[in-house]
Structures are given as structure tokens and as C-alpha cells.
Amino acid sequence: MLTDAIRLLLFPALMAFAASSDLLTMTISNRLSLALVASFALLALVTGMSLHDIATHLGAGALVLVIAFGCFTQGWIGGGDAKLAAATALWFGFDYLLQYLTYASLFGGVLTLLLIQFRLFPLPAVLARQAWIMRLHEKGGGIPYGIALAAAALAVYPQTGWLAALGA
């Protein structure tokens, strides 16, 4: 029963935290990515995931980490985004990786377009006093892509074996 509660709540809670953290601070903590990795390892052991399945999930996470790190070195994405994408890929393995990355790309595109539009309009004084809103409004500022990564993860997660085991 505890395992079922963890499957149902932990991953979505960590994703919600990643999105809100990136929105408010434009950072994603290393601790969050480590929590995703550790919770995957714990659930893989507790649920009796086979060594082959664990290896394929590790492979998916490693592949995304290498590609995302390459994107980070070019300045295309942030380091926190790269680590979050890799830790999420670990949870999904290759079975759901393409679906996750497709959703992340689509949601990221929509998020970027919305922020571009948002940055075209002057802020009302009440909003201009909020540091996090000013950061979002800054022309040429970054995109809190962790929001798109988390939204994509939450869109894919219900279809995975993690929730299918609950009969959800």
C-alpha cells in the first residue's frame, strides 16, 4: 500500500515542484534531480523491476543526459533542465521516451510563444513589484523550460507501467 501511494504521489509531486521552482526562481535544484533518481531506484527495487528493465531505463536516462549536456554546453538549455530531462527519462525508459520528448517540445514551444507575447506588453504596477514576474518579463530573458518538461512528464506518467500496476 505504501508503494502504491509512492507511485501515485511522489513523481507528480516532484514534477510540480520542478515546474514551480523554475517558474519562480529560474532554477531547478540538483537535489530535485537526485530525488528523482533515488526514488526511481527505490521503486525499481521495491516493485521487483528486472535487471534488464533497470538497465534500459538507465540507458534512456544516460542518453538524454549526454544529449542534453551537449545542448547545455551550446547554451541552448539550462543545466537544471538537462538534469531534469535525464532524471525524467530514467523513470520513463525507452518505452515512453519519444512520447515524453515530443510533449516537452510541444509544450516548450507553446510556453516560449506565450512568454514572447507576455514580454511585448507593459506590466501593471502591481505585477512589476514581483521579482519573479520581472524575471519572466525581461526581454531576452530565459525560458523556464522546466515547466514544459514537468508538464510533459505529467502528461505521459499516467500511461506508464508505474500507474498501470495500480489499475489506474
Q: What is the mean pLDDT of residues 20-42?
A: 95
pLDDT value for 69:
96
Q: Is the pLDDT of residue 57 over 90?
A: yes
Task: Copy the grid coordinates of residue 141.
Answer: 530573458
Q: Is the pLDDT of residue 163 over 80?
A: no
Q: Are 84 and 33 in contact (CB under 8 A)?
A: yes
The pTM assigned to this predicted structure is 0.93
Compute the C-alpha angle 84/90/92, nearest 5°: 105
Q: Which of 5, 1, 10, 2 is nearest to 157 (CA)?
A: 10
165 — pLDDT class (breaks 50, 70, 90): low
Q: Is the pLDDT of residue 62 over 60?
A: yes
> How many distinct structural domains can be found in the chain?
1
